[in-house]
């Protein structure tokens, strides 16, 4: 057997490569998937597991398909639509705006109704949008510089006040 001859054991059962294809084998199910359906399902806020189930494939198959740029872009676009809906709903709840759809003779009409803002939505929004100003814990720098003249008694009193504040007393 020559060094350039293919190993018959390795080649057993493999079909020769088809011109224009990367590898031989059965065609990918990915090519049968309607990308508009993928975007629509992702825009409903489904997880990858739910999307895979809707498409009738395993989660691992969906992960493999996500390596295809066009498929991944479609999936991201759909998920972004769902995220935008949630952001709008949270914002409306935080500012006290509710959109009500009423049926009229001419068809459905949206009407904006003002309600009390939701405190929880406000807190969530501010903590995530402005964490520098609205976080649960504040970072306290341990370096203290004293620039004014203070008596030892006043200094001890000041330190005691800080310790009490830290301890929550």
Query: What are 12-26's pLDDT values in tens digits?
Result: 555 544 555 565 666
Q: Which of 79, 78, 29, 80 minimizes the C-alpha distance to 56?
A: 29
Q: Do 54 and 78 touch, CB atoms closer than 8 A?
A: no
Tokens of 123: 């807190």
CATH code for residues 26-129? 1.10.10
Q: Do 113 and 98 touch, CB atoms closer than 8 A?
A: yes
pLDDT value at residue 42 = 94
Phi (first) and psi of residue 149, to 5 degrees: -80, 130
pLDDT value at residue 25 = 65
pLDDT value at residue 43 = 94
Distance separating alpha carbons of residues 118 and 90, to the nearest angstrom: 9
pLDDT value at residue 97 = 87
Task: Enumerate residue ranges in the chain where pLDDT < 70.
Answer: 1-28, 30, 137-141, 144-150, 169
Tokens of 125: 């929004």
């Amino acid at each position: 057997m020559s060094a350039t001859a293919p190993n018959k054991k390795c080649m057993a059962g493999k079909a020769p490569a088809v011109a224009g294809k990367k590898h031989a084998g059965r065609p990918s199910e990915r090519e049968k998937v309607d990308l508009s359906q993928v975007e629509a399902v992702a825009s409903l806020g489904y997880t990858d597991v739910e999307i895979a189930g809707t498409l009738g494939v395993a989660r691992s198959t969906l992960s493999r398909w996500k390596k295809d740029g066009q498929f991944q872009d479609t999936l991201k676009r759909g998920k972004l639509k769902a995220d935008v809906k949630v952001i709008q709903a949270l914002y409306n709840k935080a500012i006290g705006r509710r959109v009500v759809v009423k049926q009229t003779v001419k068809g459905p009409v949206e009407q904006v109704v003002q309600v009390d803002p939701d405190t929880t939505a406000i807190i969530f929004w501010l903590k995530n949008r402005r964490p520098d100003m609205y976080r649960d814990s504040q970072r306290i720098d341990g370096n203290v510089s004293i620039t004014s003249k203070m008596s030892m008694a006043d200094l001890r009193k000041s330190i005691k006040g800080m310790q009490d504040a830290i301890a929550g007393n």
